[in-house]
Amino acid sequence: MSNEELLRRYQSGGGRLAAARAEGLAVVPALHTAVLTCMDSRIDVFALFGMALGEVHVLRNAGGVVTDDVVRSLTISQRKLLTRDVLLVQHSDCGLATFTDDDFSEELAEEVGMRPPWRTHAFADPVVNVRRGMARLRHDPFLRPGTVVRGFVLDIEQFTLDEVFVEHAGAPLARTTGTDRQHGPAERRRSGQAWELQPDRAATSTASTS
Ligand SMILES: [Zn+2]
| Residue pLDDT, tens place only, 177-207 | 333 344 444 334 333 333 433 433 333 333 3
Strand order of the β-sheet with 161-164 is 56-61, 33-38, 85-91, 149-154, 161-164
Mean pLDDT of the chain: 85
Q: How far is the CA of 209 from the centre of ligand 1 (A)?
A: 36
State what percent of residues in the chain have pLDDT above 90: 78
Q: How far is the CA of 53 from the centre of ligand 1 (A)?
A: 23
Q: Predicted confidence band at 168 (pLDDT cuts at 50, 70, 90)?
A: low
A 10 A CB-CB count for 62 gives 15
The domains found in the chain, sorted by start residue, are 31-207 (3.40.1050.10)
Q: How far is the CA of 23 from the centre of ligand 1 (A)?
A: 32
Mean pLDDT across 127-154? 96
Q: How far is the CA of 64 from the centre of ligand 1 (A)?
A: 7
